[in-house]
A and B are shown apart, each in its own frame.
Chain A
Amino acid sequence: MTIKTMSFIVALTMTLPTLGAADADDDKLVINEEIAITTKTDAPAHLDGVFDEVMSGWHFRSDETQAMEMDDFDNPGMIFVEDAIETWNTAEGTEGKSCADCHGAPEDMAGVKPTYPKWNAAADQVFTLQMQVNDCRVNRMGAEAWKTDKGGSIPMEALLSSVSRGLPMNVAIDGPGRETWEKGKEIYYTRYGQLQLSCANCHEDNYGNMIRADHLSQGQVNGFPTYRLKNTKLNGAHSRFKGCIRDTRAETFSPGSPEFIALEMYVASRGNGLSVEGPSVRN
């Protein structure tokens, strides 16, 4: 088979939605038989004309993978949440405080994850949740900051996410954070790399279709951090952005970079209305 024929077939498969497509299913997600997760809902106002409905990546995975997320015991991502609970309760840094000393139990942090990333007035910039955690660690605990998507960052983000499961994502797109949000939107629609693909090319124009062996989702981040079967560990949103851009054969941005902070803010807002789902289970 020549390269020409192969590209033609790929192009054909991607343009004809019905050919080889497997649309998102209609299953309902209830975790531990008690947390109802909104996985499909009306698209937020700022996506008027783009989507009618936004959907969680859960719908695009196989039945077996979906089942793994429905029970906290079956969900291997929860192992890391348990580790984070220990970290939460352990004093660290020069001030001899633990997260619990100021914040109480992890459950008391419900309602925090749905609003991130958000504008931090004191720092005069948009903070991701990991940045806020580090702000506490450095300025209030006298401890060292964790690197983005490394070390304690991911389990802690997973813990803070887990206690907000079921609550709708609600990232503010107006106010002082607007400029950052606009920058994230610009990145979302920019084509990158040798393959000249933008996030939108796959996740807006082709969700539901197959890209080679993968079932394309809408690229929502309400389920992050996510336990990926492929590397059997939790993965953060910035790491996923990096992977996606690397896959377009581009020089990619780094986790924690201003570009990815802006992109995370924009992508998170595309899922406003969907429930916080992390730690989710994906392929």
Chain B
Amino acid sequence: MKFSRRDTLALGAGAVALTVLPLQANAATAVDDLIATFTGGADVGEGGVTLTAPEIAENGNTVPVGIDAPGATEVLIVAAGNPNPNVATFKFGELAGSQSASTRIRLAGTQDVMAIAKMGDGSFKKASQTVKVTIGGCGG
């Protein structure tokens, strides 16, 4: 078969598009797998858990975040865009004063940060927020 220049270019573009997609799919799967492992595949509802995170992180190296899920037994924090999306899992004991905690995390870039809470009745709730992470400026 004789390829015209147009055909070759179209083929090339197609090939490029194909190589990009699987990478994106992998990242999404890693997050889904992580959440599925935590929930055992159960449905995750909205509400009942509050995630506090800045809209714009001053620096991705140290981002203060907080979770609050009254009545929860465990809360998982996920950074969907990090090389390893699993950030931490908080298990609240019998002497926990509340089902809330704050910490500081690393974010590799602008991404969704999620808090998945396992409630006392076995159900799962989720909160999500996009955190913008900026790079660049003379601060380095």
Contact = CB atoms under 8 A, between A and B. Distances in A.
A212 B135 CA distance: 8
A230 B140 contact: yes
A232 B61 contact: yes
**Max chain B C-beta neighbours (<10 A), residue from A202, A210, A283:** A283
A21 to B, nearest CB: 14
Contact of B64 (A64, A210, A212, A283): A64
Contacts of B136: 212-214
Given A68-B64, A230-B61, A214 B137 contact: yes
Contacts of B64: 64, 67-68
**Max chain A C-beta neighbours (<10 A), residue from B56, B61, B136, B139:** B139
B138 A244 contact: yes
Given A62-B54, A62-B56, A64-B54, A202 B62 contact: no
Interface string A60-73: 01111101100000
B58 interface: yes
Interface residues of B, number: 15
Interface in A47-69: 61-65, 67-68
Contacts of B58: 61-62, 64-65, 229, 283
Interface in B88-140: 134-140
Interface residues of A, number: 22
A231 B137 contact: no
A230 B64 CA distance: 13
A61 B64 CA distance: 14
A232 B62 contact: yes
Interface in B16-39: none
A243 interface: yes
Given A230-B140, A243-B140, A213 B61 contact: no
Contacts of B54: 62-64
B138 A283 contact: no
Nearest to A243: B140
A247 interface: yes
Interface in A107-139: none
Interface in B30-60: 54, 56, 58-59
Contacts of A229: 58-59, 61-62
A219 to B, nearest CB: 10
Nearest to B138: A247
Interface string A184-205: 0000000000000000001000
A213 B56 CA distance: 10
A67 B66 CA distance: 14
Interface in A203-224: 210-214
11 contacts: A64-B54, A65-B58, A202-B138, A212-B137, A212-B138, A214-B139, A229-B62, A230-B59, A243-B140, A244-B138, A283-B139
